[in-house]
Structure 1
């Protein structure tokens, strides 16, 4: 098979992009692609918006990977997402979007260029190019990246390796239930001015998470573990559900809790996104109860098969009971998520699926490459 040539044009690399860069590097190490890294200068005129990355395929196909939470989170006052996205997409042949919505895309001139990328989370591999500060990274982020390289750091890159999240389905007669979350300051994060609509969204997210935790504590007792991570905001406004033992919220201990729990709960993220937590649950092959999803992912990923949805905290409790009371159903959902993870979420598979889509849509001259890639699926 002739290897596909991939050139990553690396600008600013925030945490959302680690998943994709890890995938490209895994494919290179597996001998599936040739990979070149082009580091953009700080003043490069082609600098992309936040959480986006450009990859050139076979020296001709310009691909945009958009890992943003939604369609409107980068807009400034007076902008609308239609003009923002169409202006961006005019220069690209194809775009893979984490938060993919047919409804939003229908309003775009270049909607035919957009494909769903899939679930996203902060996951990496040893030697990921994202670990090294770039000229485009803000100074604060450069310092954070250096800190993440230190093994004693709470945020050490090694704690986010692919294998750290993975787990096999289990049959558990006494299933544990988990919901650990964070709350958002409704006035915005430090140095961030947010519009009233986004402040209202944060109020909603906080209240749903808090009510779910309170109800689950009352309904399931010791079978449930949950709460919110300590912060100035949560300590002031949600004292009753703050997790007092801070060691529980550390990365290793959190992932241990996930793997010990057969049923994990998720809620809507900022900008109606599917949060990292959801992808972490799928990676660990857990049974999932989640607030309704607003975006679409590739493959056969369905309500009732891979997860159960709820609209209210009361409905969340009812859905949990369905999984608690039916061992076979719960186990089958875990198996379904194990399979989906290995086909669509693991970094190398997520990127490989995007390359297959590119080859299928790249014309007759790419048919051989496309067919050859299917050997890895």
Structure 2
């Protein structure tokens, strides 16, 4: 039986413990249900989070670690058949949810790298597919807000239960953190904010804005920080009349990096505003080689994007020279910028193509429809 909107009787979303990443799925499902006259039912996450699969040295290691960034969706078809889908929003390409791999029919992985997925497929029967390029967004109107709040907070409290002497303190901290995360979702940018875009004020402006993370204990974090600082200093030196942005000026910006401080506050609303006004936007990876939210945000606004070359697999390939320009080092980055600044028509061509990719592959308006098409393939 072909899977179509008309073949679905019920869609059930089990509220995730991570609302920031799963907000993209919440918005996509809301759009899909609105368009196809279906009801989106919210449920408490009954699947639990304990159990993690770690791809380590070309082998799999299974541990009891909790895996929080996974969201479940259950489809009930008109035939009464049920399909369980898992959406893994983790930054890491080496960690997977054990329970999801054991239970679901399809597993969608955000940071999907071919070799690691193939190792997982050898042990588990679940079909693992690329999730796509999500970002934080909410529906224009949040439905069932009270139920979403209850399930989200209860899920996080339940996950914090461990009977020891600091149980009450841990529950209190988890409750506070959960309410702050929920408030961030409720006040984040809406789907309409991303759907609406216009020609930039200055086609030759070059925008790069990043932040530093709270600690540098991990070598991956240190490498990300070195890269971001290096790029800001390059842009300030080589393109002083075009560069906008820098490193968010907060407590994580060390004294030695204050020359990189940005005058842009880094709020979500201001970030999108500056993106809309810019002609050229530069993207670099997140932690663990993940694809950060800024890449789809740039594409939503039809930007000419110069992006660090990545190895994550998407449903539809991002093609160098068509959707964006890739760079592997600072020399290539600098040359790409110079080439675009000398060719305004090329900026406009890349801009049209990046927006088209967003509309066809990323926008929450079409995302879940595309998922169904993948399941039919």
TM-score by length of 2: 0.80
Match of 2:70 in 1: 52
Residue 142 of structure 1 deviates from its aligned partner by 2.6
Residue 85 of structure 1 deviates from its aligned partner by 5.2
What residue ranges of structure 2 are gaps of 5+ in the alignment? 51-66, 157-173
Q: Deviations over 1:282-315 (max 9, x none)?
A: 1111111111112011124212211111122232
Q: Deviations over 1:12-38 (max 9, x none)?
A: 233000000111011111225442222
Gap change, CA 1:291 and 1:127, over 3 Å in 2? same
Match of 2:366 in 1: 349
What residue ranges of structure 1 are gaps of 5+ in the alignment? 73-80, 149-154, 189-198, 362-377
Gap change, CA 1:104 and 1:235, over 3 Å in 2? same
- Counterpart of 1:178 (choices 207, 216, 223) is 207
Q: Is the 8 A contact 2:278 2:303 kept in 1?
A: yes
Match of 2:112 in 1: 100
1:278-289 aligned within 5 A: 278-289=295-306
Q: Is the 8 A contact 1:166 1:285 kept in 2?
A: no
Residue 60 of structure 1 deviates from its aligned partner by 1.1
Q: Is the 8 A contact 2:44 2:155 kept in 1?
A: no
Aligned residue for 2:36, secondary structure, equals: coil
Match of 1:29 in 2: 34
Match of 1:321 in 2: 338
Residue 226 of structure 1 deviates from its aligned partner by 1.9
Aligned residue pairs total 328
- Does 2:135 match 1:121? yes
Match of 2:58 in 1: none
Match of 2:216 in 1: 187
Q: Deviations over 1:205-248 (max 9, x none)?
A: 111111111111111112111210122231434111112x46x4
Alignment partners' CA distance in 2, 1:112 and 1:56: 15
Q: Is the 8 A contact 2:101 2:126 kept in 1?
A: no
- The worse-fitting range, judged by mean Cα deviation, of 137-146 and 203-212 is 137-146
Aligned residue for 2:18, secondary structure, equals: coil
- Does 2:245 match 1:242? no
CA RMSD of aligned residues (A): 2.4
- Counterpart of 1:166 (choices 182, 190, 195) is 195
Structure number with higher strand proportion? 2
Gap change, CA 1:2 and 1:120, over 3 Å in 2? closer
Gap change, CA 1:144 and 1:185, over 3 Å in 2? closer
Aligned residue for 1:298, secondary structure, equals: coil
Gap change, CA 1:158 and 1:181, over 3 Å in 2? same
- Does 2:103 match 1:91? yes
TM-score by length of 1: 0.80
